[in-house]
Amino acid sequence: MTSPQQIRYDNRVVVVTGAGSGLGKAYALFFAERGAKVVVNDLGGAFNGGGQDGRVADAVVSEIQRAGGTAVASYDSVENGERIIATATQAFGRIDVLINNAGILRDVTLRNMKDEDWDKIIAVHLTGAWKTTRAAWPWFRKQRYGRVVNTSSTSGLYGNFGQGNYAAAKLALVGFTETLAKEGAKYNIRATALAPSSASRLTATVWPPEMMAAMDPAWVVPLVGVLVHESLPAHLSGGIFEAAAGHYDMLRWERSRGALLRPDENLTPDVLLRSWDKVVDFTDAEHPRGVAGAMGLLQRANQLPPNVPGTPIRFDGKVVLV
């Protein structure tokens, strides 16, 4: 029975990549239950990217259909993302929501990482999201409506031992998302980046059983439900969100007030070191959403007195300038 409090997605076409298990499966079941037509995409390979099995996507489609929902399967790799979007538009005539979720791991320290470990992770996480988004974009523009969630990771936001390839791909998705938000703004296309934490086959190898039990993918679903809903406010587009075990938050960039020096012939590292405290002081920091006004800064800098040689300077405890 539909509660009047439910937010719904009736007649919205939702594509979820990697929807055969873990988080993607939880999203697909939720959106179908709330009235959306869902494309369940999954290659059905191993957690490190090898192999293929169409039954993985089929099982989720069957589960949705048995519950009275509408779904079709897509077995393509996100590396051929245009085929996934074609499945959506051929079956349902449009696409409203794209959740770039498919993922694999090839964890290895930098010292031992091979080109193929790097390339495969970039191909699935980053290039895969690009391929699906590029194919969906003309539809979003034509409809003047679109919602994209790109799945980042705390490993990308903060770095993580043994995940140089994965971290690089996941943080790249943040910059990609922030650009989608800017380019999509006037077409009512909104994009957000999500760093989830939940039990799945990707985390089963590293988390203890009690942590797995506490981290149900179901606790990430509410945030994704809000991020792709038509009511998402425009100013949240481009935002970075985290979700884990019922905790939800938002991240943003922070810029120190910094040091503004006159760009003249005496502007050397020695002169910069004299103002270093200001460079690294986050008191009264700002939270930028775009590039700084470089021309304005240049004008202000040119009004400052010329830089002059100075007094002894310490950097990291050592005297570096006398």
Is residue 42 a contact point for ligand NAI (CB under 6 A)? yes
Q: Give me the 20-39 binding string for ligand NAI, x by CB under 6 A, dash otherwise.
A: xxxxx---------------
Q: Encoding tokens for residue 73? A: 């399967």
User: Can you tell me whether residue 127 is helix, strand or coil?
Assistant: helix
Q: Answer yes or no: 170 catalytic.
A: yes
Q: Choose the catalytic residue: 120, 142, 170, 278.
A: 170
- Cβ partners under 8 Å of residue 13, min gap 6: 36, 37, 38, 39, 88, 92, 93, 94, 95, 96, 97
Classify residue 98 by its DSSP letter.
Answer: E
Closest approach of Cβ 6 to ligand NAI, in Å? 24
Is residue 69 a contact point for ligand NAI (CB under 6 A)? no
Q: Encoding tokens for residue 97? A: 């929501």
Is residue 146 a contact point for ligand NAI (CB under 6 A)? no
Of 153 and 307, which CB lies nearer to ligand NAI in the complex structure?
153
Closest approach of Cβ 67 to ligand NAI, in Å? 20
Of 169 and 181, which CB lies nearer to ligand NAI in the complex structure?
169
Backbone angles phi and psi of 251, in degrees to 5: -110, 155
In whole angstroms, what is the distance from residue 101 CA to residue 42 CA? Answer: 10
Q: Answer yes or no: 166 catalytic.
A: yes
Residue among 73, 78, 172, 243 that touches ligand NAI (CB under 6 A) = 78
Torsion (CA) 56, 59, 60, 61 in degrees, nearest 10: 120
Contact 216, 246 (CB under 8 A): no
Q: Give me the 191-230 binding string for ligand NAI, x by CB under 6 A, dash otherwise.
A: -----xxx-xxxx---------------------------
Q: By the criterion CB under 6 A, which residues form the site for ligand NAI? A: 17-18, 20-24, 41-45, 47, 49, 56, 77-79, 101-104, 124, 128, 151, 153, 196-198, 200-203
Catalytic residue positions?
166, 170
